[in-house]
Amino acid sequence: MTQTLASEPPLLEVDDLQTSFIVGEGQDVRAVDGVNFVVRAGETLAIVGESGSGKSVTSLSIMRLLPKNIGRISRGTIRLRGKDLVTLSDREMRAIRGNDIGMIFQEPMTSLNPVHTIGTQIAEVVMQHDKLKKKAAHQRAIEMLELVGIPEPVKRADQYPHQMSGGMRQRAMIAMALACEPSVLIADEPTTALDVTIQAQILDLMRNLQKKMGMAIVFITHDLGVVAEMADRVVVMYAGQVVETGTVEEIFTRPLMPYTSGLMQSIPRMGESEKKLRLQTIPGYVPLLTKLPGGCRFRTRCAFAEDRCAVAEPPLEELESGRSVRCIRWRELELKTKASA
């Protein structure tokens, strides 16, 4: 992260966020447990981790889009420019969504309304938040489609989602998310369903729009290649908790948490020997939130776990460098890494 970004006051602050779901016979499960991070204007923060780590639930918590009756924010604050979104009424939160915080979802076909044209859906967002008349809002929709690189935007505005390719639908979702020029954009796995060429185009588009609009991006992904290309800082999550934070350079070159190190070792690298090209994997799976192991949640999959790792859950330790890590052995492991380098 550049010094300029580091000196900026936080735009979005998530503090001790705990999100719970009611499952089975009334069991209360913490899908997000004590999550903390900040995002500054113009910054891209990546949230990474395997499926089931709590990334998407964190984003839905920020947007206050948790499933009714079974999901709730049970603790913590989510401040946007100092205003706590957790305490807002549903009506007040509707005014925030789309206007101050936009969101791009993973699969546009499940997010776009199949019975309304693309232009109508973008125009509705603009009419709701910017109070434009129907004609002006439709023109704004066309301008947004042009901004995100959709050819023949006038024609495309009158088409339905099924008449567009996956890449075009994703661009339309970006146009809708940015129609009211939000200060924060949450992108939840926005390129997962796209082929590599279209994925690269979408990432380039998001970078260019960020520079043009000055917005912050919270980029949720499991693709570390995307993280290296897009992010300034990284939050690593595992089993609902933050286990490490740092700049992209710190996370990629000097991971402190064994889980983060395992993620880094799973990245394919060109130009290495055939032996080294064989990908290393983390054994096992993310534990069920209803059956978490005692102590460190990662210990059952960790090659460095000791008996003491089962005694108590390690805290997220804040380091002087601005990084944080959740591991009682991180200093020993860092020394071993340096000795073998």
Task: Give me the mean pLDDT over the 310-328 stretch.
Answer: 94
Confidence band of 220 (pLDDT split at 50, 70, 90): very high
Confidence band of 154 (pLDDT split at 50, 70, 90): very high
For residue 110, what are the CA distances in angstroms to 113, 161, 167, 255?
8, 10, 14, 36
The token pair that represents 228 in the structure block: 């290296």
Query: Euclidean distance between the first and final Cα of the chain, in Å?
Result: 25
Task: Give me the mean pLDDT over the 313-330 stretch.
Answer: 94
For residue 254, what are the CA distances in angstroms to 97, 226, 264?
37, 18, 10
Whole-angstrom distance, CA of residue 37 vs CA of residue 48: 13
Q: In 3D, which of 300, 329, 335 has the Cα closest to residue 314?
A: 329
Question: How many Cα atoms within 13 Å fall on the side-chain side of residue 111?
Answer: 19
pLDDT at res. 61:
97
Whole-angstrom distance, CA of residue 333 vs CA of residue 206: 37
Confidence band of 335 (pLDDT split at 50, 70, 90): confident
pLDDT at res. 271:
59
Residue whose structure tokens are 């090209």: 277
Evaluate whether 282 touches 305 at the Cβ level (below 8 Å): no
- Convert the pLDDT of each residue in 159-195 to its tens digit: 999 999 988 998 999 999 998 889 999 999 888 777 8
Phi-psi map region of 49: left, alpha, beta (phi>0 left; psi -120 to 50 alpha): left
Q: Where are the domains of the chain?
A: 114-177, 257-340
Q: In 3D, which of 250, 212, 245 has the Cα closest to residue 39?
A: 245
Of 45-49, 116-120, 169-173, 190-194, the range with the lowest mean pLDDT is 190-194
For residue 52, what are the CA distances in angstroms to 24, 48, 55, 136, 170?
18, 11, 8, 42, 24
Whole-angstrom distance, CA of residue 210 vs CA of residue 229: 14
pLDDT at res. 272:
54
Beta-bridged to residue 238, according to DSSP, are 241
Q: What percent of the chain has pLDDT over 90?
A: 68
Q: Does 131 or 176 have the greater pLDDT score?
A: 176
Evaluate whether 104 touches 190 at the Cβ level (below 8 Å): yes
Confidence band of 236 (pLDDT split at 50, 70, 90): very high
- Convert the pLDDT of each residue in 51-88 to its tens digit: 889 999 999 999 999 998 899 999 999 999 999 999 99
Confidence band of 341 (pLDDT split at 50, 70, 90): low
- 95-99, 196-200, 247-251: range with highest mean pLDDT: 247-251
Whole-angstrom distance, CA of residue 296 vs CA of residue 315: 9
- Convert the pLDDT of each residue in 12-31 to its tens digit: 999 999 999 998 877 889 99
Evaluate whether 6 touches 16 at the Cβ level (below 8 Å): no
Q: What pTM, to 2 d.p., does this model score?
A: 0.91
Q: Does 321 or 6 have the greater pLDDT score?
A: 321
The token pair that represents 264 in the structure block: 């880094």
The answer to whether residue 233 scores a pLDDT higher than 80 is: yes
Residue whose structure tokens are 């970078």: 207
Q: Does 5 or 34 have the greater pLDDT score?
A: 34
- Convert the pLDDT of each residue in 247-292 to its tens digit: 999 999 999 999 999 999 877 766 555 555 566 789 999 999 999 9
Compute the radius of gyration of the chain from its Cα atoms.
21
Phi-psi map region of 233: left, alpha, beta (phi>0 left; psi -120 to 50 alpha): beta
pLDDT at res. 9:
80
